[in-house]
Amino acid sequence: MSNYGKPIYGMVANEEPVVRTVHGLVKGQGRNGVGVFRGIPYGDRVDGDRRFQPPRAVGDWEGVLDCTKNGPIAMQFGTSISGSWDFGDYFSGGKRELFGCEDEVQSENCLVLDVVTPGIDDRKRPVAVYIHGGGYAGGSGTLVLGADRWVKEENIVAVGINHRLNVFGYLDLSAFDKRFERSGMAGILDLVLALEWVRDNIAAFGGDPARVTVMGESGGGSKINTLLAMDGAKGLFRAAIVESGSGIPGSMDSGEATDNAKALMSELGIGGDWQKLLELPAQDILSACDRAGIRRFSPSANDTDLPYNAAMKYLEADESLPLLVGSSSEEGGAFCEPEELTWDDLPDRLADGTIPGITKDNAGDVIARFRALDPSCDDPFRMLLRLQCLCGGRWTRSFNQALEKAEKGAGTVYSYLVTFPSPHARAPERRMAWHTADLPLQMRIVAHECCEGVSEKMAHAWAQFIRTGSPSTQELEWPAFTADGRETMVFDTVTGIKKDPMAPYRKYGR
């Protein structure tokens, strides 16, 4: 039995389970009752003359394809987060060997996915499709390879997707050749193709193609918002979870995208001969992007897949889909080393103009107010991060997205805020609700015993949402977010519903 009294599922007895997909047979690994399949190809090659083009489905193969080793990850600067030097221990739950990151290779031809299932049968379990973060420039879907406990405790199937990133996924060449009018959407089109693979194949892995939920944090959340806006993705999933990544879809126009392409070609010294981009080594192109300072990669709106979103609204091709959306209270902690800051230092740091409503005149009163509001936030550096995060800017977009959907009155939306202080990945003695700290906990990947309780609550609520479209459980009654009540589940040492917990902070924001 699991810790909250549910039976543990794990019925894959074969050490080398074999599944028939529509393209051929694949062999995985049986591990503690769970079937793990790595690097299953869903798309054909995307190098050479296929570079920057929409993906095509993988062809059929003969015999049994060995899917016991990780497939290639996208070209990028970095590695899978569970194998990284700084975040790896936290994101692997201290069990790096489960994730296989040490054997990973990078390749343009990275259209592969991973499946973790508690049963290879016809029971039609709900399916969680994880779309990784790392902005649009890095990352991989390998996090699901450590989700054994989650799929067994909740009897669900988990899928993680690798897809094209950075210049290979989002370089818009439409201004140079109409045959490449969809090049600025290539990475998102990979995700659509992968979801079509899930629709056509997941039943063979014990999953239900009619109960697919997409979930992603940070850049993964932004990718999901793009998928939500696309007619071409409509019907491929029935619910969505957007975590600390409420980017607005279709916000990059063709002008900015074309400027990026020109800057890259200039750095490569090929002038206007853009077709040489199809011939140069992938590593040369990636390095030139870095030298040219091209940092913003994003899907580029076009007339076929994603219209330019001049209104800057959260577009939904199907507004009836349920949405779970939220963020954490000290997101910025993931992007810096924890500082030794005193309460006397804090007023000057807050009055630097970063937060419009906090000045030298009121900084002391603001600090006193929020210390009284939450005495558990007893670290001055954590308070700095919290005020920078919740007083406006990008991390409050999750609230904006929930409110916008609630005001439409179409489809149910559930809101959450994580204030639970997880040990910092690079300094475990410092605790805060840093960006993405909640993600492995949702999959029951737990590196620190102090996180076990909140992991159980989140993982079970997420699974309930994946299963039913509502995150309410016997332990947590979770009402929908409404425009009037602004009901939000706050995950902390004590978890429960609060009404508009960000309201006091927004007063000082943009």
pLDDT in tens, 247-299: 888 877 777 888 889 999 999 999 889 999 999 999 999 999 999 988 788 99
pTM (2 decimals)?
0.96
* Angstrom distances, CA of residue 78 to CA of 163, 204, 244, 282: 15, 33, 21, 15
Cα(481)–Cα(474) distance, integer angstroms:
19
Could you read off the pLDDT of 160-186 as tens digits, one per residue? 999 999 999 999 999 999 999 999 999
Residue 109 has pLDDT above 90, yes or no: yes
Quote the tokens at residue 166. Answer: 């950075």
SS3 416: strand
Q: Decide if pLDDT at 7 tops 60.
A: no
Name the phi and psi angles at 216, rounded to 5.
Answer: -165, 150
Is the predicted pLDDT of residue 418 greater than 60, yes or no?
Answer: yes
- Both structure tokens of 507: 């007063």
Residue 8 pLDDT > 80, yes or no?
A: no
| Mean pLDDT of all residues belonging to the chain | 94
Q: Position 108: which residue type? A: E
For the chain, give me the number of helices (H) and strands (E)?
Answer: 14, 16
- CA–CA separation, 374 and 376 (whole Å): 5
The model's confidence at residue 144, banded by pLDDT at 50, 70 and 90, is very high
* Contact between 138 and 76 (Cβ < 8 Å): yes
- Which of 101-110, 347-356, 413-422 is predicted with the least confidence, judged by mean pLDDT? 347-356
Of 13-17, 83-87, 350-354, minimum mean pLDDT range: 13-17
pLDDT digits (tens, 9 = 90+) for 454-463: 999 999 999 9
Q: How many residues does the chain have?
A: 510
pLDDT confidence of residue 225: 96
For residue 485, what pLDDT is reported? Answer: 97
Of the candidates 389, 386, 390, 382, the one whose C-alpha atom is nearest the C-alpha of residue 342 is 382
- Percentage of the chain beyond pLDDT 70 is 97
